């Protein structure tokens, strides 16, 4: 067990992309946790493939560093508001936070979101102005912005006295003023040791430990990670597990682990204030309390942000179902979704009237998109419906989620962006012109208005615009016509293989989504129509061969490049009567009803029932 005066528990919080994972890398390297010849991956904390590809942190991770006889436990949190469930719980494990802010971008929506959570828990903050080596860094202004944010979030007097460290995670340098930087992270380490309080819990009292994160290992089963709230825990000890419903069951701590660098190390015992992992307790869940069997007292159940967006996940029933995936049945789909619930507390899965479909609710498109991407990589096939916001009754008023949207755009695109957001019922609340040709605009916008907006936004700003948003509140329903897609689609009339000849014949009707030689089926969406209605096209047409030589050879005709949609773009693109079919190798858009005549009949029925006939 460690001397409790020498323990420091901190979380690193920041807006996505402000460099906190890289900062943790430097702290790890400079703390001497690794042998000189040991290779460390860049962004060592982002271990999951998706995190490495996208450069974002999805799951909270923890690590421990020894520095001048102190043990510093560091938890790296996700910056995206979609993963708010993770952030919320981590705040319960630590005594202080490092708020990392980009020296150029300053405070962003997610900075505000994660900081609010930290201040609510009365944590002690240290502000790190990162990327101080950026050519257009503006550290003094950024500190003013941070101070304003603290005041706006009603920080107490102690929290407002935050120390500031200037750093560049990439170069591994830091200092207490922008002009005096040392070539190590020591100034930051010293501030952590000096400013963050040691744990104050009592190791002599009966044991209490709350499960904050879950991990899984095929040899040890579920591993519960959290902080010992009070008392001590030993390997082999009998404990009481208290679940959310207030029931208690007996269990035994098979193995106990502490953290050292990125590794888990086995321990004999741990005391109050330690962040540890406990293995050997079956069916343990997040938020449950492990306590002394003689004094079973449960800690307050963790409050978790409610989901704001939902989608239907259904079994793939397209003509190409089962060709690529390993798991295709509804039983497998259900098992996988319920397994996700064990570690992701912000997710909800509800059955529907059909045994083949489930309603999955999450914190936003990114949250659900990551789940879908993970599932397809694991070999699942499924189809999903258009993402929809969750409407709630609040005090008898029908309400919907509103997002706070922050946009950085070049001045010349400002008019087009403001106009497009106006049609999506956005309300502008702030505008800052930094005088460098860039304008920062802040809006409140119904979450529905953001579905499918990113693609249009990038086109309008020619790729130079940056948009970020975070959930703000629920507000009264804004009415029917918010957002949505205005273009119709090109729907395949045949099942077969697309040909260059067939595609050339429909090119002037819109933009195609497939390459020549792609297998398509009847009812599959193969492109976007340049008008607002859907049309049926045959892109499998073969050219009729004749023996007359034509004077104008066709080889010189160039085809336009098709637009291939990524998973996020495909999900945003969907309309109410469409599905996105997802398999390990393909992403296809399709109509829910594949046959043209049946589709027309269903549309007639819908119009009749709408007009009340």
- CB neighbours (10 Å) of residue 397? 11
CA 80, chain centre distance (Å): 5
Strand-pairing partners, residue 358, are 313, 351
For residue 365, the model assigns a pLDDT of 80
- The whole-number average pLDDT for the span 104-108 is 77
Q: What is the band of 313 on the pLDDT scale with cuts at 50, 70, 90?
A: very high
Of 65-74, 190-199, 331-340, the one with minimum mean pLDDT is 65-74
Q: Inform me whether the pLDDT recorded for 452 exceeds 70.
A: yes
Q: What is the pLDDT of residues 563-572, one digit of tens each?
A: 898 888 898 8
Neighbours of 182 (CB within 10 A): 14
Q: What integer pLDDT is reported at residue 232 of this predicted model?
A: 84
pLDDT at 612: 67
Which own/partner contact pairs does 302-305 have at CB distance under 8 Å and 24+ positions apart?
302/88, 302/89, 302/92, 302/210, 302/212, 302/345, 303/88, 304/85, 304/88, 304/89, 304/345, 304/346, 305/84, 305/85, 305/88, 305/346, 305/363, 305/471
392-414: average pLDDT: 88
Residue 60: φ, ψ to 5°: -70, 140
**pLDDT tier at 305, thresholds 50, 70, 90:** low
DSSP state of 113: H
Tell the burial category of 265 from Cβ atoms under 10 Å away from its Cβ (0-12, 13-18, 19+): exposed
Please write the tens of the pLDDT for every residue from 471-489: 788 999 988 777 667 789 9
Query: Contact, 101 vs 130, CB < 8 A?
Result: yes
Mean pLDDT of 91-112: 81
Helices 109-120 and 139-152 pack at an angle, to 10 degrees, of 50
Q: How many CA atoms lie within 13 A of 107 on its CB side?
A: 21
Residues 6+ apart with CB under 8 A from 340: 347, 349, 371
Residue pLDDT, tens place only, 238-255: 888 887 777 788 888 888
pLDDT band, residue 304 (cuts 50/70/90): low
Alpha-carbon span 484 to 423, nearest angstrom: 11
Decide the pairing of beta strands 238-242 and 248-252: antiparallel
- With a pLDDT cut of 90, the percent of the chain lying above it is 21
Q: What is the pLDDT of residue 17?
A: 64
Q: What is the pLDDT of residue 46?
A: 44
Identity of the highest mean pLDDT range in 256-270, 434-448, 551-565: 434-448
Alpha helices in 31-123 (DSSP H): 49-54, 84-90, 109-120
Task: Compute the C-alpha angle 24/30/32, nearest 5°.
Answer: 115
Structure tokens at 10: 């901190």
Mean pLDDT lowest for which of 43-47, 325-329, 398-402, 555-559? Answer: 43-47
Q: What is the pLDDT of residue 524?
A: 95
Q: Which of 580, 467, 569, 566 is nearest to 53 (CA)?
A: 566
Where is average pLDDT lowest: 23-27, 216-220, 331-335, 554-558? Answer: 554-558
**What phi and psi, each to the nearest 5 degrees, are found at residue 66?**
-95, 130
Let me know: does 173 contact 182? Beta carbons within 8 Å.
yes
Which residues carry a binding-site annotation? 17-22, 130-133
Which residue has 């119009």 as its token pair? 607
Coil vs helix vs strand at 492: strand
pTM of the predicted structure, to 2 decimals: 0.73
Mean pLDDT of 87-108: 82
d(CA 385, CA 275) in angstroms, rounded, equals 41
Q: CA–CA separation, 405 vs 440, rounded Å?
A: 10
**What would the mean pLDDT of 351-368 be, rounded to a whole number?**
89
Q: Does the pLDDT at position 31 exceed 80?
A: no
pLDDT per residue as tens digits for the range 45-96: 444 454 444 444 334 467 788 888 888 888 877 644 445 556 777 888 889 9
What's the pLDDT tens digit per position in 142-171?
A: 888 889 888 888 888 888 888 888 888 778
Residue 199 DSSP label = P
Nearest to 127 by CA among 161, 89, 99, 151: 99
Least confident of 465-469, 506-510, 565-569: 465-469
- Locate the DSSP E strands across 68-207: 70-76, 96-102, 124-130, 164-168, 173-177, 180-182
Check pLDDT > 50 for residue 44.
Answer: no
Binding residues for GTP: 17-22, 130-133
Q: What is the DSSP string of 510-547?
A: EEE-S-TT-EE-TTEEEEEESSSS-EEE---PPPPP-S
Given this model, what pLDDT does residue 15 score? Answer: 67
Average pLDDT of the residues in 112-140: 84
Q: Given this model, what pLDDT does residue 385 score?
A: 94
Q: Are 448 and 400 in contact (CB under 8 A)?
A: yes
Average pLDDT, the chain: 82
- Gap between the Cα atoms of 377 and 394, Å rounded: 39
Of 134, 321, 295, the C-alpha closest to 202 is 295
> Which domains, from first to last, does the chain contain?
4-195 (3.40.50.300), 208-291 (2.40.30.10), 392-476 (3.30.70.240), 489-610 (2.40.50.250)
Q: What does the alpha-carbon distance between residue 322 and residue 317 come to, in Å, rounded to a whole number?
A: 9
Q: Which pLDDT score, from 0 to 100, does residue 515 have?
A: 92
Q: Say if residue 551 is exposed, middle or buried (CB neighbours under 10 Å; 0-12, 13-18, 19+).
A: exposed
Distance CA 277, CA 298 (A): 19
337 versus 472: the higher-pLDDT residue is 337
What phi and psi, each to the nearest 5 degrees, are found at residue 595?
A: -80, 135
The secondary element (H helix, E strand) that includes residue 422 is helix 414-422
Q: How far is CA 602 from CA 487, 533, 536, 575, in A?
A: 20, 16, 16, 15
13: enclosing H helix or E strand: strand 7-14
* 491 CB-near residues (< 8 Å, 6+ apart): 523, 524, 525, 526, 534, 535, 536, 537, 591, 596
Beta bridge partners of 590: 524, 579
CA 405 to centroid of chain Cα atoms: 16
Per residue in 167-184, pLDDT (tens digit) is 887 787 788 888 787 888
Section 93-109 average pLDDT: 83
In order of 8, 28, 64, 569, the CA distances from 32 in angstroms are 18, 7, 12, 43
pLDDT (0 to 100) of residue 60: 43
What pLDDT band is residue 535 in, cutting at 50, 70 and 90?
A: very high
């Amino acid at each position: 067990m460690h001397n409790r005066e020498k323990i420091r528990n901190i979380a690193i919080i920041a807006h996505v992309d402000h460099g906190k994972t890289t900062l943790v890398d430097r702290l790890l390297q400079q703390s001497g946790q690794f042998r000189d010849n040991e290779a460390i991956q860049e962004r060592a904390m982002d271990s999951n493939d998706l995190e490495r590809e996208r450069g974002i942190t999805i799951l909270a991770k923890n690590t421990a560093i020894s520095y001048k006889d102190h043990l510093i436990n560091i938890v790296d949190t996700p910056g995206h508001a979609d993963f708010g469930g993770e952030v919320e719980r981590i705040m319960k494990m630590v005594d202080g936070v490092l708020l990392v802010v980009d020296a150029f971008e300053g405070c962003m929506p997610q900075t505000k979101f994660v900081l609010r959570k930290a201040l609510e828990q009365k944590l002690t903050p240290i502000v790190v102005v990162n990327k101080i080596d950026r050519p257009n860094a503006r550290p003094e202004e950024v500190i003013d912005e941070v101070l304003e944010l603290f005041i706006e979030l009603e920080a107490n007097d102690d929290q407002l006295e935050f120390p500031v460290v200037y750093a560049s995670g990439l170069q591994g340098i830091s200092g207490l003023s922008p002009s005096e930087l040392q070539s190590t992270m020591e100034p930051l380490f010293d501030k952590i040791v000096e400013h963050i309080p040691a744990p104050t819990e009592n190791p002599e009292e009966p044991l209490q430990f709350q499960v904050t994160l879950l991990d899984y290992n095929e040899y040890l089963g579920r591993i519960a990670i959290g902080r010992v709230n009070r008392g001590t825990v030993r390997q082999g000890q009998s404990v009481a597990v208290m679940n959310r419903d207030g029931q208690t069951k007996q269990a035994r701590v098979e193995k106990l682990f502490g953290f050292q660098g990125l590794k888990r190390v086995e321990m004999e015992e741990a005391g109050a204030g330690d962040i540890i992992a406990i293995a050997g307790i079956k069916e343990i869940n997040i938020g449950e309390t492990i306590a002394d069997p003689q004094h079973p007292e449960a800690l307050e159940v963790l409050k978790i942000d409610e989901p704001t967006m939902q989608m239907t996940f259904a079994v793939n029933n397209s003509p190409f179902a089962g060709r690529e995936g390993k798991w295709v049945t509804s039983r497998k789909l259900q098992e996988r979704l319920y397994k996700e619930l064990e570690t992701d507390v912000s997710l909800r899965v509800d059955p529907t009237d059909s045994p083949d479909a489930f309603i999955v609710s999450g914190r936003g498109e990114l949250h659900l998109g990551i789940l879908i991407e993970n599932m397809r990589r694991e070999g699942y096939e499924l189809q999903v419906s258009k993402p929809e916001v969750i409407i709630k009754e609040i005090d008898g008023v029908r309400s919907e989620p509103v997002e706070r949207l922050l946009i950085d755009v070049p001045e010349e695109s400002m008019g087009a962006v403001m106009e497009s957001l106006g049609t999506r019922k956005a309300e502008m609340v702030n505008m800052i012109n930094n005088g460098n040709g860039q304008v920062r605009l802040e809006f409140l916008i119904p979450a529905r208005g953001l579905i499918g907006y990113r693609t249009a936004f990038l086109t309008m700003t020619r790729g130079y615009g940056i948009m970020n948003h975070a959930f703000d509140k629920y507000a009264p329903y804004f009415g029917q016509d918010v957002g949505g897609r205005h273009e119709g689609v090109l729907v395949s009339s045949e099942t077969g293989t697309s040909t260059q000849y067939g595609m050339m014949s429909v090119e002037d009707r819109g933009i195609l989504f497939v390459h020549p030689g792609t297998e398509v089926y009847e009812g599959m969406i193969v492109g976007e129509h340049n008008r607002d209605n859907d049309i049926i096209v045959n892109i499998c047409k073969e050219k009729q061969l004749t023996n007359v030589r034509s004077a104008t050879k066709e080889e010189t005709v160039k085809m336009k490049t098709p637009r291939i949609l990524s998973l996020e773009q495909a999900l945003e693109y969907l309309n109410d009567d469409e599905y996105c079919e997802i398999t390990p190798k393909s992403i296809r858009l399709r109509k829910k009803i594949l046959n043209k005549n049946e589709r027309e009949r269903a549309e007639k029925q819908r119009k009749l029932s709408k007009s009340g006939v």
